[in-house]
Amino acid sequence: MERIGDAEYRVMEVLWDEAPLTAAEVADRVPADRGWSIRTVKTMLSRLLAKGVLAHEEEGRRYLYRPAIAREDYVAQESGRLLDRMFGGRLTPLVAHLAERDRLSDADIAEIEALLKALKS
Amino acid sequence: MERIGDAEYRVMEVLWDEAPLTAAEVADRVPADRGWSIRTVKTMLSRLLAKGVLAHEEEGRRYLYRPAIAREDYVAQESGRLLDRMFGGRLTPLVAHLAERDRLSDADIAEIEALLKALKS
DNA sequence: GGCGGCTGATTACAACTGTAGTCAGACACG
DNA sequence: CGTGTCTGACTACAGTTGTAATCAGCCGCC
């Protein structure tokens, strides 16, 4: 599967939240913090189409865009990539690492414990 | 902190494992699967120097290269980035996600539970 | 003492990415 | 019916990355 850049990912998120949308609608919903022009959004959409991660159907002279890959699949691929690259593919060192770095609160720990308990049964 | 590409990361790993090293030594230790030329390795070293993630000391007319950032710090940054981008910065959804995707064996679960227990005490 | 080999420095170049401008066609309003 | 507007397509351009080649200097060997 193709890789997706940071900016492109913003666009994907919009469409994973709500689809199908026109280019203008996507532009409206993209987080404003980057101050993108509509043209930039359209470029993103074209590239994502070319990469095969978006699909489009024609509606009059416009396109309606929708994701062609599931968010879960993409997220799985990217987390797997990080895990492979940094932790030899093993999750435990990641958890240990984040715990050390204070990215884990007590509430997180409780939550993960509950999750693991559910997984075992 | 500067970002490091995939190929550059390979070079960093060599030096995190063993330092200081000369360019030729790094080239010897880089995993062979990409079939890099020594020139390519030298380019990586220069760029990593420019990015400030490597340091060098002169030894005669050569450099000895060593990491200027800790592996842990870089790994923390990158895992934080993924977590922020994909899971709103929260670890639990990542664990849940990987569990669903069968990236978690029973042994992993036991291991993480032990880790969490240790964290709480 | 000249020549091959090694060194870092500089340059090359294509693909990808972020950010946008231009263009030709359709459409909608006055 | 003309004129501005919106659309996707195409083009632009700088920065990053992967992958190297070239260059000028030094060093040891014949």
Q: Determine the Cα–Cα distance for residues A121 and A111; give it in Å rounded to an integer.
A: 16
Q: What's the token pair of residue A35?
A: 């101050």
Q: Which of B6, B83, B116 sits opposite A109 (nearest CB)?
A: B116
Question: Does strand C come within 7 Å of the CB of B62?
Answer: yes
If you measure CA to C1', which residue is closest to nucleotide D9? A46
Q: Determine the Cα–Cα distance for residues A96 and A64; give it in Å rounded to an integer.
A: 44
pLDDT band at B97 (very low <50, low <70, confident <90, very high): confident
pLDDT band at B26 (very low <50, low <70, confident <90, very high): very high
Instruction: Considering all nucleic acid strands, name the nucleotide whose C1' atom is nearest to the C-alpha of residue B10.
Output: D18
Report yes or no: B24 and B17 within 8 Å, Cβ to Cβ. Answer: no
Q: Determine the Cα–Cα distance for residues A41 and A23; give it in Å rounded to an integer.
A: 7
Query: Chain B partners of A75 at a C-beta cutoff of 8 Å?
Result: 86-87, 97
Q: Look over chain A and give the mean of its residue pLDDT values, rounded to a whole number.
A: 91
Instruction: State yes or no: pLDDT of B1 exceeds 80.
Output: no
How far: B46 CA to C8 C1' (Å)? Answer: 9
Q: Are residues B79 and A80, on separate chains, in Cβ contact within 8 Å?
A: no
Instruction: Give pLDDT, residue A1.
Output: 75
Query: Chain B partners of A102 at a C-beta cutoff of 8 Å?
Result: none
pLDDT band at A48 (very low <50, low <70, confident <90, very high): very high
Strand ranges in chain B using DSSP code E only, listed in sequence order: 54-59, 62-67
Instruction: Give pLDDT, residue B57.
Output: 95
Contacts of B109 (CB under 8 A, 6+ apart): A116, A119, A120, B99
Q: Determine the Cα–Cα distance for residues B41 and B121; give it in Å rounded to an integer.
A: 46
Dump pLDDT digits (tens) for A50-102.
Answer: 999 999 999 989 999 999 999 999 998 898 888 888 888 888 888 888 878 77
User: In this structure, how many other beta carbons lie within 10 angstroms of the beta carbon of residue B99?
Assistant: 19
Question: Does strand D come within 7 Å of the CB of B61?
Answer: yes
Q: What's the token pair of residue B5?
A: 């590409």
Q: Are residues B94 and A79, on separate chains, in Cβ contact within 8 Å?
A: yes
Evaluate if pTM is beyond 0.75. Answer: yes
CA dihedral B5, B79, A31, A57 (to 10 degrees): 70
Query: Which residue, among A97, A88, A103, A81, has the nearest Cα to B13 in the 3D structure?
Result: A88
Instruction: Give pLDDT, residue B107.
Output: 87
Please state the rounded mean pLDDT for residues B88-98.
Answer: 83
Report yes or no: B7 and B34 within 8 Å, Cβ to Cβ. Answer: yes
Dump pLDDT digits (tens) for B35-76.
Answer: 899 999 999 999 999 999 999 999 989 999 999 999 999 998
Name which of A92, A108, A117, A121 to mutate to probe chain B: the one with the most chain B Cβ atoms within 10 A of its Cβ: A92
Query: Chain A partners of B116 at a C-beta cutoff of 8 Å?
Result: 95, 99, 109, 112-113
Instruction: State yes or no: pLDDT of B101 exceeds 80.
Output: no
Report yes or no: B91 and B51 within 8 Å, Cβ to Cβ. Answer: no
Question: Does strand D come within 7 Å of the CB of A63?
Answer: yes
Q: Which amino acid, one-letter code, is at B78?
A: E
